[in-house]
Amino acid sequence: MSKESRSIEERIERIHKMAKDHFGEVRFVGIKLHTKIGWVAKIQFDEFDSLIAEGENAEMALKNLRKRLKKIIDRYNMV
């Protein structure tokens, strides 16, 4: 893997694939700028379950979301 920085789209696709491989169904993976809290990255699994992470920019929010998702998957795999 090269050290080139990934585009936002590539990061979203990577997170989507990771979530879909583990959880099966994923409705939405995306990012938006929230007026009060800054950048927010979100995975929506169904109407009730979602995973959210924040960051000072879009890239950091997506990195934080991927870290949270990876932690959940790793914890699940330990059982």
Tokens of 64: 């934080």
Single-letter residue type at 69: L
User: pLDDT (tens digit, 9 = 90+) per residue, 27-77?
Assistant: 999 999 999 989 999 999 988 899 999 999 999 999 999 999 999 999 998
Task: Give the whole-angstrom CA distance, residue 63 versus residue 65.
Answer: 5
- The fold for domain 8-74 equals Double Stranded RNA Binding Domain (3.30.160)
pTM to 2 decimal places: 0.87
CB 78 within 8 A of CB 70: no
Decide if 29 contacts 12 (C-beta within 8 A).
Answer: yes
What pLDDT digit, counting tens, does each position of 31-43 carry? 999 999 899 999 9
- What number of other Cβ atoms are within 10 A of residue 26's Cβ? 18
